[in-house]
């Protein structure tokens, strides 16, 4: 077992997230005031909120919340759901429950750093890179070739952070079948599900495709409610779910009771929240298209397939790291440079940056960005 490295994204954010004037790399969709969320509550949940007692809650999560989450799946019920304090806790504990020093994992890159560093702290890991030359395509043959007799987990994330890539639904189903054939757990990070530009491209949830698969989700990203800190894993393998509960006894033990009631309201109203946030993205994307079209010598832009982040390429001679540093220092516009997404497993492009497209009214940030670029000339 090796020591976990510094979390590059959080270290970078600790310096700039709340001091930069324009947070243009946000990974979450537009949020809302708590009063607005409470206004979406049905009578049952409003009563639960008004009469809530601030004691300990169930380790698995509030039963009503788990029922609401299970209702978003085709083949899961409440007993297949366990809730966590955000998605990060779920990812961390799942990898510890699934992997030991004699095991092997396959992880798709680029990714949210913990998706590879947590497995790497536990066992040997092989990376399979999305191909930037083919619109970040995933080669299933390369995934199959990476699998070994000791492979216990294949970890993926679609819509992908940071690229916004969605694979074809048929390929995703084939990936789930491949894992089942080999007795492997497919770990699917689905935190951006519901924000597809084309709803026909929405992937099935992995837990609906396989009893061995784990679907990770959270209120933070697509629903735009990161302050709730409520995530969950849905998995129809009850023995594994029990192991996850026992692992949680060593971390948060149980979740915040107010947050679970608020999350219950949000999940029940998820169709409305997702439609609202897709509308924000649909309104924003033409602004980003116009911005990048104004600097064709500096950027290659491609709108994301889904989610609320994109990963443009920077063409400037100074390099993306210096570019992002000077931009936030001189113009107060925060982006995430490619170094945040470098991988120990595969080569990753060093000339991209993450930009967020899910927050309302990005025009002031884009105006500051544009003015800074023009002044440089």
Q: Could you tell me if 153 and 291 lie in one domain?
A: no
2 within a domain of the structure (yes/no): no
Q: Could you tell me if 370 and 231 lie in one domain?
A: no
**Whole-number average pLDDT of the chain:** 97
Specify whether the CB–CB gap between 6 and 111 falls below 8 A: no
Radius of gyration of the chain from its Cα atoms, rounded to whole angstroms: 20
Specify whether the CB–CB gap between 98 and 152 falls below 8 A: yes
Determine how β-strand 104-109 pairs with β-strand 151-157: parallel
| Phi/psi of residue 122, nearest 5 degrees | -115, -30
With CA atoms as reference, report the closest residue to 9 among 313, 347, 309, 357.
309
pLDDT at 212 > cutoff 60: yes
Q: How far apart are CA 175 and CA 110, in angstroms?
A: 18
pTM of the model: 0.97
Q: The domain spanning residue 280 has which CATH number?
A: 3.90.1150.10
38 within a domain of the structure (yes/no): no
Q: Could you tell me if 264 and 279 lie in one domain?
A: no
171-174 LR contacts (CB < 8 Å, sep 24+): 171/138, 171/140, 172/203, 172/204, 172/206, 172/209, 173/204, 173/209, 174/140
| Phi/psi of residue 135, nearest 5 degrees | 55, 45
Last residue of a domain, one of 213, 240, 269: 269
pLDDT at 45 > cutoff 60: yes
280 within a domain of the structure (yes/no): yes
Q: What number is the average pLDDT over the span 16-24?
A: 95
Last residue of a domain, one of 269, 295, 312: 269
265 within a domain of the structure (yes/no): yes
Specify whether the CB–CB gap between 91 and 101 falls below 8 A: no
45 within a domain of the structure (yes/no): no
Classify residue 6 by its DSSP letter: P
pLDDT at 54 > cutoff 60: yes
Cβ-based neighbours of 127, under 8 Å, separated by 6 or more: 106, 107, 108, 109, 116, 146, 343, 344, 345, 346
Q: Half-sphere exposure of residue 342, counting CA atoms within 13 Å on the CB side?
A: 13
Number of structural domains found in the chain: 2
44 within a domain of the structure (yes/no): no
Each residue of 229-281: pLDDT tens digit? Answer: 999 999 999 999 999 999 999 999 999 999 999 999 999 999 999 999 999 99
Determine how β-strand 185-189 pairs with β-strand 231-234: unpaired
Cβ density class 11-30: b for 16+ within 10 Å, e for less: ebbeebeeebebbbbbbbbb
Last residue of a domain, one of 269, 289, 310: 269
Each residue of 140-196: pLDDT tens digit? Answer: 999 999 999 999 999 999 999 999 999 999 999 999 999 999 999 999 999 999 999
Q: Could you tell me if 282 and 301 lie in one domain?
A: yes
Domain that holds residue 325: 8-33+272-376
Q: The domain spanning residue 133 has which CATH number?
A: 3.40.640.10
Q: Could you tell me if 261 and 280 lie in one domain?
A: no
Cβ-based neighbours of 147, under 8 Å, separated by 6 or more: 106, 154, 178, 182, 184
Q: Could you tell me if 109 and 218 lie in one domain?
A: yes
Diameter over CA atoms, the chain: 61
Q: Could you tell me if 118 and 219 lie in one domain?
A: yes
Classify residue 85 by its DSSP letter: S
43 within a domain of the structure (yes/no): no
1 within a domain of the structure (yes/no): no
Q: Could you tell me if 129 and 185 lie in one domain?
A: yes
Q: Taking CA 334 as the corner, what is the angle to CA 322 and CA 11, rounded to the nearest 5 degrees? A: 80
Q: Could you tell me if 263 and 276 lie in one domain?
A: no
Classify residue 205 by its DSSP letter: P
Q: Could you tell me if 263 and 295 lie in one domain?
A: no
Q: What number is the average pLDDT over the span 75-81?
A: 98
Q: Could you tell me if 174 and 304 lie in one domain?
A: no
The confidence score (pLDDT) of residue 1 equals 57
Q: Could you tell me if 372 and 345 lie in one domain?
A: yes
């Amino acid at each position: 077992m090796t020591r976990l490295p510094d979390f590059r994204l959080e270290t970078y954010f600790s310096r700039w997230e709340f001091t930069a004037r324009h947070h243009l790399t946000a990974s979450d969709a537009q949020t809302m005031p708590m009063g607005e969320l409470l206004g979406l509550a049905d009578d049952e949940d409003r009563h639960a909120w008004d009469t809530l007692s601030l004691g300990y809650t169930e380790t698995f999560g509030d039963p009503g919340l788990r029922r609401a989450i299970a209702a978003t799946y085709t083949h899961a019920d409440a007993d297949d759901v366990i809730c966590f304090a955000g998605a990060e806790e779920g990812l961390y504990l799942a990898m510890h429950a699934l992997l030991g020093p004699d095991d092997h994992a396959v992880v798709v890159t680029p990714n949210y750093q913990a998706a590879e560093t947590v497995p790497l702290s536990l066992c040997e890991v092989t990376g399979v890179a999305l191909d930037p030359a083919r619109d970040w395509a995933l080669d299933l043959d390369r995934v199959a070739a990476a699998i070994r007799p000791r492979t216990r987990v294949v970890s993926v994330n679609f819509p992908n952070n940071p690229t916004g890539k969605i694979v074809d639904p048929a390929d995703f189903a084939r990936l789930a079948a491949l894992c089942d054939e080999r007795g492997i757990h497919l770990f699917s990070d689905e935190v951006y599900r519901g924000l597809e530009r084309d709803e026909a491209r929405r992937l099935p949830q992995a837990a609906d495709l396989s009893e061995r698969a784990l679907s990770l989700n959270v209120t933070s990203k697509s629903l735009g409610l990161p302050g709730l800190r409520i995530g969950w894993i849905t998995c129809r393998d009850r023995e594994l779910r029990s192991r996850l509960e026992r692992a949680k006894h060593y971390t948060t033990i149980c979740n915040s009771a107010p947050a679970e009631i608020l999350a219950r309201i949000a999940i029940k109203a998820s169709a409305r929240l997702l439609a609202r946030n897709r509308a924000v993205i649909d309104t924003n994307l033409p602004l980003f298209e116009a911005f990048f079209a104004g600097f064709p010598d500096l950027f290659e832009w491609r709108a994301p397939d889904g989610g609320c982040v994109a990963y443009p390429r920077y063409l400037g001679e100074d390099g993306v790291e210096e570019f992002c540093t000077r931009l936030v220092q001189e113009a107060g516009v925060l982006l995430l440079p490619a170094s945040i997404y470098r991988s120990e497993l595969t080569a990753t492009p060093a000339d991209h940056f993450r930009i967020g497209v899910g927050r309302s009214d990005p025009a002031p940030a884009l105006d500051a960005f544009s003015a800074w670029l023009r002044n440089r000339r």
